[in-house]
Amino acid sequence: MFFKAYKTVEDAIKKVSGEDDVLLGDGGEHADLASTVAFSLAKKRKENPVKIAADITAELEKELFEADISVSTKGPYINFIFGKNYISDVLRESLKPGFGQLSEKNIRVCIEHTSANPNGPLHVGHIRNSVIGDTLARVYKKAGYSTDVQYYVNDMGRQIAIVSWGFDNLDIKRKEGEKGDRYVANVYVAANRSIEADPSIKEEIDRRMALIEQGDPEMVKKFRDAVILCLDGMKDTLKKLNAPHNRFIFESDFVKSRLMHHVLNRLSSIPQAKHDETLALDLTEFGFEKDYVLRRSDGTSVYAARDLAYHEWKSDNYDRIIDVLGADHKLIGTQLQATMKLLGDKAPEIVFFEFVSLPEGSMSTRAGKFISADDLIEEVTKRAYEEVDTRRPDISEEDKKAIAESVAAGAIRYDIIRVSQEKSTVFNWKEALDFEKQSAPYVQYANARACSILEKSGEFEERFEAESEHEIALVKKIALFPKIIDEISRDLRPHILAIYARELADLFNTFYRYNPVLKAEGDLRDSRLTIVKAAQNTLSEVLKTLGIDAVRSM
């Protein structure tokens, strides 16, 4: 509905002003849309912008009368306000199941996220990647793309060699009920301490690296066992966060299948290839000073080589490739993009996000200095349970637990997704445990309130009208949901959705406060119930797209 109204206004201004760029944007508190085209015309015509705005407005009024859009000026600004037809169209549209879904695009998108090294549990830094990636995946589905969500498993890296050495040499027992990822981290931390104490162990690690590259069966099994053990624990964490992947791709498969060798062969014959002891690429034409090394002088491959093979495979199988990576991967990520271009393949679009640190400094799996996602989930769930327990003595233990889990996972996801990805953050327990205002529970609560009203209302006849300022503001906000989905699928900035969710909940709560629904009578009751139903449907679709449970009661 919004798209249509926008286009109508845009076309009208183009026709009346003769300008290509109609400078049309959000009207804020003044209007639904506003144009500053009078300023640019003023320059060209050497006239007063206020006068131009007034002149144009008279013509625009005629153009837009049919569409029920009113036009007015405030100084040089031209304001557009949508009328009753718009409201009624929005209400009809937003009551439909799956509201916000855009038309099918027939484009295959591959989204890679998380892809943390399987040498320990996911921590609060990793899950920023998971939440951004999973939210994007949900947005892309909503935007009509077919999506595949992948985890790239670094199963032949140095870290895993260290873990396998630890398992063979350190006799560390798995504690009763200990998760696999936590156990692997213990072995990894201990092995690193051993290496610090006795650097000669490094030779043994190098030997394992060489064996894994050759595909030595015994070493392959050792690596794979450790990786699977860790990965199972990580999958469990991702499940609790509603951030599942549908495929796990192992980097060693690209060595085994010789895809990596094919890519390296292709690259070794391009003009940018440098054959010294190593195989490297000269990417100075892209502004990179350092060579991009792909093969060591001992003949073994580095991570970049395997990653290139993976991306070439993605290029062959998808129309769009999106990678979510931490800011520490900026250099290697952009080098990879440049190399894909040299190969004539599709380069990935990369969403970089800045770091999450602890108040005492940055996190480190190797040093055992991190807050695990599991611990965070546990603490937040505990806190959520206390809240439900005091508020809802009337419901069963089972329901309390289920609500607490939904609230906790939602609170964590919202807390992460609400800040834009280019901002580095410091993890803060107080904020993580705060369930008011700018939080998932705030939005979930608005949805639950709406559900409660609809449960009590009984049958009613849908009426597609809004009278009060609060009703109108709410309906107009509902109308923007498809636009938000479209925007995020273009800009890859998912925090916009969190802000939208908050604003939608704000407007629903204000409406709820000033416009009684169940106590209203006749047509007014029906039209308000219709608005509640539309708001509830939209809130629940927004929450679903954020990967947050839209609980019906809390």
Partner RNA sequence: GGGCUUGUGGCCUAGCCUGGAUAUGGCGUUAGCCUCCUAAGCUAAAAGUCGGGGGUUCGAAUCCCCCCAAGCCCGCCA
Q: Hey, which residues between 86 and 115 contact RNA (CB under 7 A)?
A: none
List 495, 504, 534, 540, residue binding RNA (CB under 7 A)? 495
Name residues contacting RNA, limited to 185-224 (CB under 7 A).
none
Q: Which C-beta is closer to RNA: that of 93 or that of 348?
A: 348
List 261, 266, 296, 544, residue binding RNA (CB under 7 A)? 296
Considering only 63-71, 131-139, 227-235, 492-500, which stretch makes contact with RNA by CB under 7 A? 492-500
List 453, 466, 475, 497, residue binding RNA (CB under 7 A)? 453
Residue 327 CB, nearest approach to RNA (Å): 5
Considering only 85-93, 185-193, 233-241, 327-335, which stretch makes contact with RNA by CB under 7 A? 327-335
Residue 171 CB, nearest approach to RNA (Å): 25
Considering only 25-33, 94-102, 135-143, 259-267, which stretch makes contact with RNA by CB under 7 A? 25-33
List 370, 442, 464, 481, residue binding RNA (CB under 7 A)? 442
Residue 522 CB, nearest approach to RNA (Å): 15
β-strand 146-153 against 33-35: which pairing, if any?
A: unpaired
Name residues contacting RNA, limited to 328-357 (CB under 7 A).
328-332, 354-355, 357
Considering only 141-149, 194-202, 255-263, 452-460, which stretch makes contact with RNA by CB under 7 A? 452-460
Residue 176 CB, nearest approach to RNA (Å): 31
Residue 250 CB, nearest approach to RNA (Å): 11
Q: Which C-beta is closer to RNA: that of 194 or that of 278?
A: 278
Q: Taking Cα atoms as reference points, which of 478, 528, 530 lies closest to residue 506?
A: 478
> 216: left (phi > 0), else alpha (psi -120 to 50), else beta?
beta
Residue 77 CB, nearest approach to RNA (Å): 4
- Measured CA to CA in angstroms, residue 144 lies from 108, 137, 418, 466, 542 at distances of 10, 11, 23, 30, 15
Considering only 84-92, 104-112, 477-485, 494-502, which stretch makes contact with RNA by CB under 7 A? 494-502
Residue 79 CB, nearest approach to RNA (Å): 5
Q: Does 23 bind RNA (CB under 7 A)?
A: yes
What are the two backbone dihedrals, phi and then psi, of residue 361, each rounded to the nearest 5 degrees? 135, -170
Sequence-distant (6+) residues with CB within 8 A of 173 are: none
Residue 443 CB, nearest approach to RNA (Å): 9
Q: Which C-beta is closer to RNA: that of 146 or that of 438?
A: 438
Q: Is the dihedral of CA 301, 151, 425, 289 positive or negative?
A: positive
List 278, 286, 401, 460, residue binding RNA (CB under 7 A)? 278
Rounded Cα distance, 380 and 553, in Å: 19
Q: Taking Cα atoms as reference points, which of 213, 211, 191, 212 lies closest to residue 202?
A: 191
Name residues contacting RNA, limited to 412-431 (CB under 7 A).
418-420, 422-425, 430-431
3-state SS of 439-493? CHHHHHHHHHHHHHHHHHHCCCCCCCCCCCHHHHHHHHHHCCHHHHHHHHHHHCC
For 167, the token pair is 């398992």
User: Which run of H or E residues covers position 192?
Assistant: helix 180-197
Considering only 63-71, 190-198, 368-376, 489-497, which stretch makes contact with RNA by CB under 7 A? 489-497
Cβ 150 vs Cβ 247: under 8 Å: yes
Q: Which C-beta is closer to RNA: that of 93 or that of 454?
A: 454
Cβ 194 vs Cβ 154: under 8 Å: no
List 274, 509, 524, 544, residue binding RNA (CB under 7 A)? 509
Name residues contacting RNA, limited to 222-261 (CB under 7 A).
251
Size of the site for RNA (CB under 7 A): 93
Rounded Cα distance, 135 and 147, in Å: 12
Residue 223 CB, nearest approach to RNA (Å): 12
Alpha helices in 257-372 (DSSP H): 259-268, 303-317, 330-342
List 438, 460, 467, 468, residue binding RNA (CB under 7 A)? 438
What are the two backbone dihedrals, phi and then psi, of residue 480, each rounded to the nearest 5 degrees? -85, -10
- Measured CA to CA in angstroms, residue 105 lies from 109, 267, 270, 316, 363 at distances of 10, 33, 35, 19, 40
User: Which run of H or E residues covers position 33?
Assistant: strand 33-35
Cβ 159 vs Cβ 188: under 8 Å: yes
Q: Which C-beta is closer to RNA: that of 94 or that of 154?
A: 154
**In the stretch 26-55, what mask flags binding to RNA with x, by CB under 7 A?**
-xxxxx--x-x--xx--x------------
Residue 197 CB, nearest approach to RNA (Å): 19
Instruction: Write out the DSSP string of 225-283.
Output: HHHHHHHHHHHHHHHHTT---SEEEETHHHHHTSHHHHHHHHHHTSTTEEESSSEEE--
Considering only 52-60, 233-241, 300-308, 371-379, which stretch makes contact with RNA by CB under 7 A? 300-308
Residue 173 CB, nearest approach to RNA (Å): 27
Helix (H, G, I), strand (E, B) or coil at 60: helix
Q: Largest Cα–Cα distance in the chain?
A: 85
Residue 268 CB, nearest approach to RNA (Å): 15
- Measured CA to CA in angstroms, residue 402 lies from 114, 240, 380, 430, 553 at distances of 26, 12, 13, 23, 11
List 184, 338, 384, 466, residue binding RNA (CB under 7 A)? 384
